[in-house]
Each structure stands twice: as C-alpha cells, then as structure tokens.
Structure 1
Amino acid sequence: MSSNTVYLVTGANRGMGLGLLTILAARPNTIVFAGARNPDAQSLKDLAAERSNVHPIKFIVNDKANNEAVVAEIEKIAGQLDVIIANAGVAQFYGPVATTPLDEYKAHWEINTLGTIVLYQAAQELLLASPTGIPVFAYVSTGAASMARFLPMKNSAYASSKAAANFIVKALDAENPSLIALAISPGWVATDTGNPAAVANGLPEAPMRVEDVVPGILSRIDGATKEKSSGRFWNFKPTFGGMPWDINTEEVPW
C-alpha cells in the first residue's frame, strides 16, 4: 500500500466536482480518481495532462456493474481507496408536488438516493480496508433537504431524494464503527444545476461561486474523525446574509 491518500470524486468533470478535483490534485501525496459520465471531457483531459495523479474514469450513477468496475480499476491502479466524495447528482425539475410528474420523483430518487447506495455497496470492501484506518464517505447534499429548516422552493423531487440519502449517511455511520460518513451542504452554488433552481425561484443565478464553497466542503473532510464528524449534516460554512437560504450554523438541522 502506498503512502498516498486515494480519493474518488464523482461528478468530477464540471462544477463543484471539478473544483474539488482541482484542489485535491494539487495536494502532495494524493491520487484522485475523477468519476464522470464523460471521462473524455476536456476539463478532465486538461487536468490529467497537467497532473499525473489524476485518473479520469467512466462513472455512471446507479449502475451497479459500472460502479463495481470503477472500484476494481481503483484497486488495480492505486491498491486502496481512502475517501469517497459522492458529488454526482441530478436536479432537473421545479414545481409544486401537485404537478410534479411521478417520473421526476423516480429519476431524482434513482440517481440521488439509490445511486448513493449503489456506490457504497460497490466500494465498501475496499473503502473499509483503507490503510488509514479512518475511511471517509462524504455525501454532497443540500440545505434544501433539511426538514427542520424547510425552504419552500418547489423542488420536492430533488430535496426529498437528498433527504433520503442523508438518512443513508446516518445508517452508514451507525453500521460501521470505523467509517466516517457525513453529509455536507455546499450552499446554493452557481452551477449547471444551481442556476436553473435560482431562475425557477426568481433569481438571475445562484448566490455562491464554486471557488467560494469548495474549500469549505473539503474543510469538513480534512481531519474528520468518527467521534466529532461522522453521522452529522455539515454546512460548508456558516453564512450570515440574512436571506432565506443562509444557514448561520456549523451544522444543518436534519
């Protein structure tokens, strides 16, 4: 086993995933697998050409055979897996419950909820064998999934799928004594998924930038411990703008 820390970042070809990948790749002693539906995306090709520790890999959310193949490739190349950042997801419909098609609920749940389970099940053996002794499964969630702090954005298909995945994070924490499992809210970020949500709610674009939130996301993962970090829903950082989507606490209420 190497002395490197081996990461898998899903949804890594754009937005927050690419931001996370770029920072991790620049760190010493890291190997980063960039999971993407299109591993030949120019963004990944450019970064892999610049950084030999970046390995683009075809990743299809909620595809059991593909997820198992991804983990097998990671084991073949790196021999270990220490941190998974489950970032890939979908947010594609906005409207009230009464008119949200059932197919939209199914699509969001299959990707955002079941996709999380498929990934963990495929990776669990290698991840739990991490030589660090403190493997991490970090789920990039959303503040919109909080039921205790409900935000009426008419995105029930998306938010409910993320809330269900948050429960999976709690279950993984409870079931695995050595695994650090945590959910992280990245704030409302100006990405290909965040901006349509903003427009649907009367804003020109989402209020936060990728470069502003990615360091906060990683701050929750870096140095995480079972006792202090696991089984919790972390805010990327407290925000105090006074807007409905601002959360001024370190943790997001479930």
Structure 2
Amino acid sequence: MAANTVYVITGANRGLGLGLTKALLGRPSTTVIATVRNGEAVATLQSETDSITAANKTTLYILKLDFSSAVPPEKIIETFNAATGAGDVSHADVLICNAASVFPMAPSAAVKAEHLRAAFEANTIASLLVFQAFWPLLQKSPSRAPKVVMVTSSLGCITNMERVPAGAYGPSKAALNYLAKSLHTQHEAGGLIAVALHPGWVQTRAGQSAAKDWGFPGEPPVSVDDSVKGMLDVIDKATRETASGKFVTQTGDVMPW
C-alpha cells in the first residue's frame, strides 16, 4: 500500500462523493478511503461499487462516520484504523472534505437558529476536524505536497454574492472558505495544498433541493460526471502557486472570496 496514492473522501455514498469514489477506483495503484453516514449508506456504497472492476492494485475501504455532528479527530482515526487495519495505510495524499448538509434556502432574515448551528456543525466544523484527524498522515505523503480540498459553493462567496437566498448553507460555506485559506497560509512549511473547490451547480440531491427552493424550472446545469471530471482535473493539477489558498471552480476558474 505504501506506493499507492491515498485519497480520503467524506460523504461518499451518493452525489459527488460517490462520483469521485467511482472515478478514483478506475485509477491504478490507488487507495480510496470513503466515509459514509450509517449502515444504510454503507450498503448503498457497496452496491454502487460492486459492479466496478477496480484498476490494478486499487483498493476501497469504507468508514462509517456521521458528520451531521462533528466527530472528534481521535474517533475518526480510531474508525480509520479499525477499517483499514492499523498500519496498513501509512499515509494520505489527498483529503476531499465533501460531506455536507443542506438546509432550506431561506432569506437571511428568516434563517432559523437551529439550522445555522446545524449547518456550521456539519459543513464547517466537521471538515476542520477531519483535517485535524488526517493531517499527521498527510504529512507522511511521499509527494511532499499533500492536498486538502474543501468542497464549497459559490453560495459562500461574499464579494460576488449570489442573488438567490442561501439560508444557513451559504454562511457555513463562507466559513469553510476561510478555513481553506487559513490552512494554506499556516502550513506553507509543510507543503500543504489547500483548495476551496466549487463543483458547480450539480444535478445532485442537494442541487435539486436548492432548485426547488428557488422555484427553478428544471435541472441544475452541471451533471455529476462533468463535475467530477472537472474537480479531479483541478485537484490533480493543483500546486501551492496555482490553486492553494484560492477559491476555484470545477472548470479551473478562480473566484473572488
């Protein structure tokens, strides 16, 4: 396993997380560590990937971790060790913090306090604690340039704020963007590449839920396959100079904060 490129993906049983997992299973010498929320999600991911013939020396591990409330780093690593066998996966190369919860896209004046607390717990705090859990393994990446990708949204953009309401989701993603930039700034010596990555408005359950709240007639414009292809291209090419500490779209464009 030491020679494999190791990816950790949270929220892997559906939508973008599932798309990323399937795509990475097609790459040789790749280890995919995929987290899901519960036993039903484990079964879904296993069913979705059973028909995929993994590439040569490629392996999938599934971890059951519910990030609807932030999980302490110690618990995350304990679950990781139990799933992979302590020591079998000795490093990580790319951490993709994809797991998130979507709440009603209400105007700010109508956002409920409980939704705001829950959004920050699932979308912001949980991602930071996942990074804290895996940072020791990321520092062991043979590439000397480990990557953390915070899957965010244009709804978290403050400079060019979307004209649609973003409820509790937008503020939680704006805070996630801050964390991506701060990790870039604070871990220069460790070579960390930290990217806030907007996948586009995608045809996922979350994307369709937003469309319904906004009264949008039809599907979101970006397919899961196209988003995943673009995201992986950005991740593969990302360096400290080109993408780290930046708010980037799946097409490679840099957005203002």
TM-score normalised per structure 2: 0.89
* Counterpart position of 2:27: 27
Q: CA deviation at 1:71?
A: 4.2
CA RMSD of aligned residues (A): 1.7
Q: CA deviation at 1:15?
A: 0.4
DSSP-derived class of the 1:6 partner? strand
| Gapped regions of structure 1 (runs ≥ 5) | 239-249
What are the residue-to-residue correspondences of 1:125-204 with 2, within 5 Å? 125-177=136-188, 178-203=191-216, 204=218
TM-score normalised per structure 1: 0.90
DSSP-derived class of the 1:227 partner? coil
Tell me the distance in 1 between the aligned counterparts of 2:244 and 2:98. 17
Greater shift in the superposed pair: 25-34 or 124-133: 124-133
Tell me the distance in 2 between the aligned counterparts of 1:207 and 1:46. 24
Tell me the distance in 1 between the aligned counterparts of 2:234 and 2:123. 21
Match of 1:215 among 229, 234, 238: 229
What are the residue-to-residue correspondences of 1:50-199 with 2, within 5 Å? 50=52, 51=54, 53-61=59-67, 62-64=70-72, 65-73=74-82, 76-177=87-188, 178-199=191-212
The residue identity in structure 1 corresponding to 2:77 is E
The residue identity in structure 2 corresponding to 1:34 is A
Tell me the distance in 1 between the aligned counterparts of 2:45 and 2:135. 29
The 8 Å contact of residues 63 and 80 in structure 2, kept in 1 or not, is answered as no
Percent identity reads 34
Q: Deviations over 1:76-111 (max 9, x none)?
A: 332111110110001121211222110000000111
The 8 Å contact of residues 35 and 59 in structure 1, kept in 2 or not, is answered as yes
The 8 Å contact of residues 82 and 136 in structure 1, kept in 2 or not, is answered as yes
The residue identity in structure 2 corresponding to 1:82 is D
* Counterpart position of 1:253: 256
Q: CA deviation at 1:173?
A: 0.4
- Is 1:233 matched up with 2:241? no
| Gapped regions of structure 2 (runs ≥ 5) | none
Q: CA deviation at 1:129?
A: 1.9
Greater shift in the superposed pair: 128-137 or 52-61: 52-61
Q: CA deviation at 1:230?
A: 0.8
